[in-house]
Structure 1
Amino acid sequence: MPPKKKKGKGKKKGKGKKKDDATLMLEDKYKRTVDEIQALKDHLAIRKEFTRRSVVYKDEMRQRMLGAEDELEDHKKDQKDISADMTRQYKTMQTEMGLRIHQLETELARTRTKLTDTELELKKTKEEKDKKIQDRELTITELKLKMNSMEKDYEACLRQAFDVLVDKVESSKKLWEEKSTTIQAKNKQVLLEFGLNPLEI
């Protein structure tokens, strides 16, 4: 058990101690309050710095956003101009291609017509050539037949002429032999009349 406090002196001492404790508590509370105020000031300063930086960052971001919006607008404008230019170029190219296709189709149709005419002319020329070749071959065949016929006729004529000539020669020979015999007989008779012997002469 704790020792009992003395009355009188103990009361005085307790009151002073109480006062010291209250002062200490008050000082401690004050100190804590000052520390809290300082901490709040530091926190507030940090918050202010953070806010200031946020404002600066926000301004920077706003400037960057405005710059980006300007760039976007410029980009959109450029894109619009490029799109318009490309559309114009595409339409021009499409028109040119349409004209070129029309020209090529016209040229193709003309070429096809020319090719058809050329093919017909070639066919006609070939037919004429084939006909000429056939006519020439027919003429050559006819000429060969005529030549063969003429050769035969000429050969027959020659044979006939030779036969006639042979007959004439034979007739002339026979006639000549007869005349010769007659002449010889006459000569013989004449010689005998003159007294000459033909065998001795």
Structure 2
Amino acid sequence: MAPKKKITGKNTEKSENDLEERYRRSILDIAILQDHIVLQCETIRKIQSDRTNLRRNVRDIEQKLQCERQDHWDVSSDLSRQYKSMQTELTKKVARLEKETSQLKEELLLCQEELNKEKRERVQVEQEKDAVIADLQHKLDSLETDYERVLHETLDGLTAQLATVRQGWENKSPTFNQSEKELLSEFGINAQDI
């Protein structure tokens, strides 16, 4: 089994900061797209209302023009042409706005999918991090137990060796101590002061 890479706190913080930054950007993008959709819907409603009003106005004008047809034939044809042009422009504008609305809805769905993907990836990263932490904690506990056992065995061995050496010193001690006391007294030192 290959050794696992050690995740540093710095890399984890950076990846978490990157995920949070991407998450914040996605939220802002969604809010902007929603605002844009609301504005487009309001524009469409206004255009449709304007269209209805224009049709009503044109009907009124056409009724008036019928009464004055002979005197105002040029004006009537011009207004009719303008009406058709405006209707065509409004129809095109409504179609364009509906297409934009559809595209914005698709973009919103893509952003929501991306956000969900980011959330899933973040959960996965957190689970992997937790697994690494648990593995390292297990290894640390195992090392601690091993070191404690080795320390006890070493201390038990040292205690046994010290007991053996002490016994040997105690057996030699009366003669050895006497020769040392004589040597110390030659130098003018009292052995009891030490």
TM-score, normalised via structure 2 length: 0.49
Which of 1 and 2 has higher RCO (CA within 8 Å, sep 6+)? Answer: 2
**Structure whose alpha-carbon radius of gyration is higher:** 1
Question: TM-score, length-normalised on structure 1?
Answer: 0.48
